[in-house]
A = this chain, B = another copy of it.
Amino acid sequence: MTKTRRERIRAATINEIKEIARQQMGESGAGALSLRAISREMGMSSPALYRYFASRDDLVTALLVDVYTAFADALEMARDGRLQGDHIGRFTAVACAYRDWAVASPQEYALIFGVPIPGYKAPSDVTSPIAARSMIVFLDVLVNAEKAGKADFSDSYVAITPAVAAQLQPWVDKLQFDGDIEILYTAMSNWSLMHGLVSLEIFGHFDLCITDVSSGELYRTEVAALAKRLSIQ
């Protein structure tokens, strides 16, 4: 924590760059990030930015990490806002926080879950662990509900074929997961539905069939249906 003066200034500059970058991203999307525009807004020459980020992609990666973290934080906060034994409360809270965060920060959501930026490949060794965090929050809710006997994953139980179970195995290993594999499957399935609903909404693909989806009523209806299907109590 005891940083030199120089290190503090450097960190502040990096923060300023990322802050302006996120602001620009919020306006036009991560794909439209412009190093020159950032430097201009900072009153700096553009090559100076390269002292802090070796390339545009490096800046994007840094943003990616921050955004992933903020997203996982939001989910965790939603979960911890409900009592530990309130499984359906936690399930609903996390699922709704998922959408709330995405609606509030569509470009950020697009950055982590959307189409990869042209020519940009996220370094998975950096992003994988952080990406897992948000998934784990959701998984955790299901696991605890199951441990308490307050959920029923029998629907998944009949669905999972051996081949699918095998596909999920590495995920089990990586997490050192000791619960039933049906929980993992259910988490993945529910997550997919949530992602589908949210991404169709925030990228405007619902516009042609649904008006004013912004209330979130439809999403909440779906979440309730999920909870009911899992018999979460």
Contacts and interface: CB of A to CB of B under 8 A. Distances in A.
B159 A215 contact: no
A161 B200 contact: no
Contact of A188 (B155, B171, B209): B209
A113 interface: yes
B196 A29 contact: no
Contact of A168 (B119, B205, B210): B210
Interface in A63-118: 110, 113-118
Interface centre among A155, A156, A207, A225 (most CB of B within 10 A): A225
Interface residues of A, number: 60
Q: How many copies does the complex hold?
A: 2
Interface in A148-180: 155-156, 159-161, 163-164, 167-171, 174
A206 to B, nearest CB: 8
A222 interface: yes
A111 B148 CA distance: 44
A55 interface: no
A157 B155 CA distance: 20
Give me the 8 closest cross-chain CB pairs, A-B, nearest first.
Answer: A196-B196, A32-B118, A192-B196, A114-B115, A31-B118, A171-B209, A110-B115, A195-B196
